[in-house]
């Protein structure tokens, strides 16, 4: 089905090969997982398989690439036999609505209208998309991911490529995706999945290939996979095979239709920096009124209430995790805090009203799709762009802590997805803002950098900032969260 033989690829913006002597053979009907540290070449390997390399990305390619027995000579040819789910689904949407996105590939291939309607109906049912009507840009990141997965298989390609498909999914979303992958296997599809989260693939994968520096360094069969020890995985920079379990962080003081039921902490019992990374949540209360207060906060879009919080307090000096299922308003809350979202009600900082324009100056945010936040032509310039003078001198140290040392002159768009993620995290660290928001910052992040990212967030909190972490990643939440605001559907 797929043959990569001694393949070398260097992006035009980078002198270092992203793929360097890669040999890989994927048989028809096989499910192969590509894993390895951030920057090891997983996404580039998928781009070789779907023709984006070299027909979309510029660079130098050597070696042999064959898909379904044929050289990848044009995108239209390979598009008929492959379906791809990218790390950030917004980048692959061609239309503005769920139904038209699902029909897009079939329409391009000239499929009869009735056949398109029938097939789209099947996919909507299979992926549970009936409740996701309307514009794609109004969906949450996890909901967009589900649509992207469905759109990738609507034209029934024999080969499906998935790049970090669980990056923005809730635990239930991951369970649903696992069922879909099993169903595709039963239908005979060939699956290649680039992934850091491995626990859900234990019953799906036929073979696991570990990449390092753009080449396949190690391989395990499905029989060997479940028996891998945590020590072996740690040496390879891989996450655990066990589904993460959370002990949970104490809830912040909050109530309202969007706030999931839970026991509120005692008066004054708001945690401060020191939290789990320092060996247990601190119990010293923050100063009275310190932090962000929400009062009567409500967001309505197209007549539907997205977020409704009567009252909440996000403390300074602590990492507050915002959790809950896909589509409950977590990113909407981030946009409110950053001054990017219209709403009713009030937002206060240290007891004083914080209007939208001032929030934009007081807040740093790491978005789910960090490419939208890269503006300069080098890593070093990207850090200087938003760094306050008193933090700028720490740039080299922060880059080293996040595994980006030696990349100061590299163009940000030449970095891997995980490296870009960590670059924007570093920029947020140096911004000196009072409110710092991390929205799903661990997509594309391996085991080692999960801990370095936690240390960076902890340093921001220790500096007195209000740190908000929006995540479904139980590994990251267990490491980082001091307090928790769990959201539920507002109506």
- Look at residue 82 in the predicted model and tell me its pLDDT: 95
Percent pLDDT > 90 in the chain is 62
Confidence band of 156 (pLDDT split at 50, 70, 90): very high
CA quadruple 329, 334, 335, 337: dihedral, nearest 10: 120
pLDDT digits (tens, 9 = 90+) for 416-443: 888 899 999 999 999 999 999 999 998 7
- pLDDT tops 60 at residue 267: no
Write the CA distances from 267 to 254, 270, 462, integer angstroms. 12, 8, 22
| CATH numbers and ranges of domains, the chain | 2-235 (3.40.50.300), 254-486 (3.40.50.300)
Q: What is the mean pLDDT of residues 330-344?
A: 95
pLDDT (0 to 100) of residue 243: 77
Determine the average pLDDT of the residues in 289-296: 92
Q: What is the pLDDT at residue 415? A: 86
Task: Report CA-CA distances (Å) from 113 to 122, 133, 484.
Answer: 14, 20, 48
Res. 35 pLDDT band, cuts 50 70 90: very high
Mean pLDDT score, 21-34: 97
Residue 302: DSSP 8-state: T
The mean pLDDT value for 215-242 works out to 92
Task: For residue 132, give the nearest of 123, 468, 72 by alpha carbon.
Answer: 123
**Taking 70 as the threshold, does the pLDDT of residue 313 lie above it?**
yes
Residue 269 has pLDDT above 60, yes or no: no
pLDDT at 336: 97
The pLDDT value given to residue 272: 36
Q: For the ranges 128-137, 245-254, 431-440, which has the lowest average pLDDT?
A: 128-137
- What span, in angstroms and rounded, lies between the C-alpha atoms of 25 and 1? 8
352-410 pLDDT tens trace: 999 999 999 999 999 988 888 999 999 999 998 888 988 878 888 999 989 898 889 88
Q: Is pLDDT above 70 for 285?
A: no
Q: What is the pLDDT of residue 194?
A: 96
Supply 455's token pair. Answer: 């240390």
pLDDT of residue 289: 64
What mean pLDDT comes out for the span 336-360?
A: 95
Maximal C-alpha separation, the chain: 68
């Amino acid at each position: 089905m797929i043959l990569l033989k001694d393949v070398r690829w260097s992006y035009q913006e980078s002198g270092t090969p992203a793929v360097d002597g890669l040999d890989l053979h994927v048989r028809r009907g096989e499910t192969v997982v590509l894993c390895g540290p951030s920057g090891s070449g997983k996404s580039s390997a998928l781009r070789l398989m779907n023709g984006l390399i070299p027909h979309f990305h510029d660079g130098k390619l050597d070696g042999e690439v064959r898909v379904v027995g044929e050289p990848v000579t044009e995108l239209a040819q390979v598009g008929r036999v492959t379906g791809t789910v990218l790390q950030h689904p917004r980048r692959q949407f061609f239309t503005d609505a769920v139904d038209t996105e699902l029909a897009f590939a079939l329409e391009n291939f000239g499929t009869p209208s009735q056949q398109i309607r029938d097939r789209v109906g099947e996919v909507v049912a299979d992926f549970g998309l009936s409740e996701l009507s309307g514009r794609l840009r109004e969906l949450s990141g996890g909901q967009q991911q589900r649509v992207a997965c469905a759109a990738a298989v609507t034209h029934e390609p024999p080969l499906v490529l998935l790049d970090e498909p669980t990056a923005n999914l809730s635990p239930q979303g991951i369970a649903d995706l696992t069922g879909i992958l099993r169903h595709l296997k039963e239908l005979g599809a060939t699956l290649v999945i680039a992934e850091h989260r491995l626990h859900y693939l234990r019953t799906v994968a036929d073979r696991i290939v570990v990449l390092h520096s753009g080449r396949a360094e190690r391989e395990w069969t499905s029989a060997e996979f479940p028996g891998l020890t945590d020590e072996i995985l740690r040496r390879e920079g891989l996450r655990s095979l066990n589904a993460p379990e959370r002990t949970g962080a104490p809830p912040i003081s909050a109530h309202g239709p969007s706030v999931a039921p839970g026991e509120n902490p005692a008066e004054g019992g708001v945690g401060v920096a020191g939290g789990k990374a320092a060996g247990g949540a601190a119990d010293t209360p923050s100063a009275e009124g310190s932090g962000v207060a929400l009062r009567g906060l409500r967001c309505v879009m197209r007549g539907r209430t997205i977020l409704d919080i009567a009252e909440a307090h996000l403390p300074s000096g602590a990492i507050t995790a915002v959790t809950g299922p896909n589509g409950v308003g977590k990113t909407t809350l981030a946009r409110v805090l950053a001054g990017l979202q219209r709403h009713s009600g009030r937002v206060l900082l240290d007891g004083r009203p914080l209007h939208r324009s001032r929030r934009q100056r007081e807040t740093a945010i790491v978005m789910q799709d960090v490419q939208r936040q890269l503006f300069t032509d080098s890593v070093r310039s990207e850090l200087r762009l938003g760094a306050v003078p008193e933090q700028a001198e720490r740039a080299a140290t922060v880059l080293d802590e996040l595994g980006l040392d030696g990349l100061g002159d590299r163009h940000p768009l030449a970095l891997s997805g995980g490296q870009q993620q960590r670059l924007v995290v570093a920029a947020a660290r140096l911004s000196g803002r009072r409110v710092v928001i991390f929205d799903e910052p661990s997509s594309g992040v391996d085991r080692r950098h999960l801990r370095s990212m936690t240390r960076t967030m902890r340093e921001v909190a220790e500096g007195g900032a209000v740190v908000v972490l929006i995540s479904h990643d139980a590994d990251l939440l267990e490491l980082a969260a001091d307090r928790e605001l769990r959201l539920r559907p507002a109506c």
